[in-house]
Amino acid sequence: MLNLERLRTLDALARHGSVSGAAEGLHVTTSAVSQQMAKLEREVGQRLLARHGRGVRLTDAGRLLADHAARILSQVELAQADIEAQRGQVVGEVRIGGFPTAARGLFPATLAALRADHPDLRVRTRELEPEQGVRGVVRGDLDVAVVLDWSNRRLPVPGGLAQVHLFDDAADVAMPANHRHAGRADVELAEFADDEWISWPEGEFCHDWLMFTLRSQGIEPRISHLAAEHHTQLALVEAGLGVCVAPRLGRGPVPGTVAVVPVRCGMRRHVYAVWRADAARRPSLRAAVTALRKAAERDAPGRAALSGADGS
């Protein structure tokens, strides 16, 4: 009889590609992963792992069993979802990930509503970039991820995931108050061809989007500073060190010496939640998605007011 937890370990190894990655995804030690795999190899009577440089790789038998393990675990998740749906109670645990401005702009209201409406539900959250959030849902490390893409650069969402659109988040250009375009009603990105830019760190989805967008307009961006937090970016703008894209979700107060002007083309981020389709019947998951949608609806007037306060 194959042990479910050992199949889960094999599945994590196949998905993460390493013992350390599997251990991190399963929240166990690397020694525990190795022990589970050794026991599984004894159970099936075949080698499932082989040395590969400093790491390991799955053997042919390992890949074959890993494919079965993924299907078995999916069926187990379906069974759990059906049992929860039959019981109809929002209990247990739900794990939600989101990109930083979503965590700041949506999570407080979402978590407060879940605590008030479903006191027996434990909610765990973490900040993740959009691609990491999608991978976390696919791997089963997250139940729901709040992710984004841009009008001109979409985020690939693998098959087997369900999604719901939460809202569109407008983004403006932030510049020093004495900038030549500060008093404008709107601007075009091409008008900042000679400016220094403050961007997100390299490799992040929004950094790649900014480079793609500017280059598509014939601009080779001069990226002078990289900062993950929007508040840090705005502080650098306030110091006169460049301009940046400033989305409205979770923005908060803008420094008085910073001007924020909308982009004429209507630069927007699409914000949505994704989850595994085979878990869609879980009451806890449905409750989390409902709370996210309500938080997004409540935040919409605030984003509109923010827009007006900034002169846009």
Encode pLDDT of 99-149 as tens digits. 998 999 999 999 999 999 999 899 999 999 998 999 888 878 899 999 998
CA distance 31 to 37: 10
| Better-predicted residue by pLDDT, 92 or 109 | 109
pLDDT at 304: 53
| pTM for this entry | 0.72
Contact between residue 247 and residue 171 where contact means Cβ atoms under 8 Å apart = yes
Question: What is the separation of C-alpha 92 from the centre of its chain, rounded to a whole number of angstroms?
Answer: 22
Task: Decide: residue 280, CB within 10 A, 0-12 exposed, 13-18 middle, 19+ buried.
Answer: middle
- Give the pLDDT score at 279: 83
- Kindly state the percentage of the chain with pLDDT values over 70: 93
Distances 117 to 60, 73, 214, 273, 284 between C-alpha atoms, Å = 49, 30, 45, 20, 11
Residue 37 has pLDDT above 80, yes or no: yes
Over 90: is that where the pLDDT of 261 sits? yes
Instruction: Tell me what pLDDT residue 300 has.
Output: 64
**Mean pLDDT of the residues in the chain:** 87
Q: What is the pLDDT of residue 87?
A: 66
Task: Note the pLDDT tens digit of each residue in 180-231.
Answer: 999 899 998 889 999 999 999 998 888 999 999 899 888 898 999 999 888 8
**Which tens digit of pLDDT belongs to each residue from 49-90?**
888 777 788 999 999 998 898 888 878 777 776 676 656 678
The C-alpha atoms of residue 109 and residue 105 are separated, in whole angstroms, by 8
**pLDDT, average across residues 160-171:** 91
Check residue 301 and give its pLDDT: 46
- Any alpha helices (H) in the chain, and if so which ranges? 4-16, 19-26, 30-44, 60-87, 100-105, 107-117, 130-139, 205-216, 230-238, 283-309
Residue 281 pLDDT class (50, 70, 90 cuts): confident
* Residue 2 pLDDT exceeds 80: yes
Q: Is the pLDDT of residue 307 over 50?
A: no
Higher pLDDT, 212 or 304: 212
User: Band of the pLDDT at 309, cuts 50, 70, 90?
Assistant: very low
Among 124, 122, 126, 134, smallest CA distance to 103 is for: 126
Per-residue model confidence (pLDDT) at position 252: 80
Residue 243: pLDDT band with limits 50, 70, 90: very high
pLDDT at residue 226 in the model: 96
